[in-house]
């Protein structure tokens, strides 16, 4: 969830994306805009498509209702995005935990493999020694059989 608070600002065709939720207050922003509207200071954005062209023919109250409705939809979208981000963050943490467990298991198995390989080498050497001893004993038996005949 802390990752969500630290998203970078990206701008694409005049659309801003959240940079940093810390210190950002939608209520304060709305209050500032409402104060400017009450003072008669209107934003200078003739080509702003926030309100459709038909909106220019709407009264101020209708425009405010329209903008508030649009704000609610935007807030719902934001809440959904934040929810999805948190869900993905939780999923990432679960995957990181599984990865860590898998890496530990891999390390343990590598140690086991190494130990088994060294034991295999040891038993190969013992087997070779036993085979040499066996060959020596077979030669001895053959020699003794010749002596006995």
Establish if 50 belongs to a structural domain.
yes
64-79 residue pLDDT tens: 888 999 999 999 999 9
Is residue 50 within 8 Å of residue 43, measured between CB atoms? Answer: no
Count: domains in the chain: 1
> Phi first, then psi: what are they for 26, rounded to 5°?
-65, -35
Share the mean pLDDT of the chain: 80
123 has a pLDDT exceeding 60: yes
Q: Does 18 map to a domain? A: no
Residue 14, domain member (yes or no): no
> Is 92 in contact with 3 (CB distance < 8 Å)?
no
| pLDDT score of 89 more than 50 | yes
Give the C-alpha separation, 94 to 98, whole Å.
Answer: 6
Helix segments in 8-56, DSSP class H: 26-39
> What 8-state DSSP symbol labels residue 42?
-
Task: Answer whether residue 111 is part of any domain.
Answer: yes
Domain presence at residue 88: yes
Give the residue carrying structure tokens 């038993």.
123
Residue 93 inside a domain? The answer is yes
Range of the domain at 53: 26-148
Two tokens, residue 52: 């459709």
Is there a domain that residue 9 lies in?
A: no
- CB count within 10 Å of CB 82 equals 15
pLDDT at 5: 42
pTM of this prediction exceeds 0.75: no
Decide if 6 is inside a domain. Answer: no
């Amino acid at each position: 969830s802390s990752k969500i608070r630290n998203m970078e600002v990206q701008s694409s065709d005049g659309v801003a994306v959240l940079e940093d939720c810390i210190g950002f207050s939608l209520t304060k922003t709305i209050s500032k805009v409402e104060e400017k509207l009450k003072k008669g200071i209107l934003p200078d954005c003739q080509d702003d498509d926030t309100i459709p062209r038909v909106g220019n023919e709407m009264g101020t109250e209708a425009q405010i209702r329209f903008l508030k409705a649009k704000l609610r939809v935007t807030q719902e979208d934001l809440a959904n995005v934040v929810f999805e981000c948190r869900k993905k963050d939780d999923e990432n943490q679960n995957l990181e935990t599984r990865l860590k467990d898998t890496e530990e298991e891999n390390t343990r198995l590598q140690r086991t493999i190494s130990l088994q390989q060294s034991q295999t080498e040891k038993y190969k050497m013992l087997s070779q020694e036993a085979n040499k001893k066996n060959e020596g004993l077979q030669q001895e038996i053959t020699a003794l059989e010749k002596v006995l005949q």
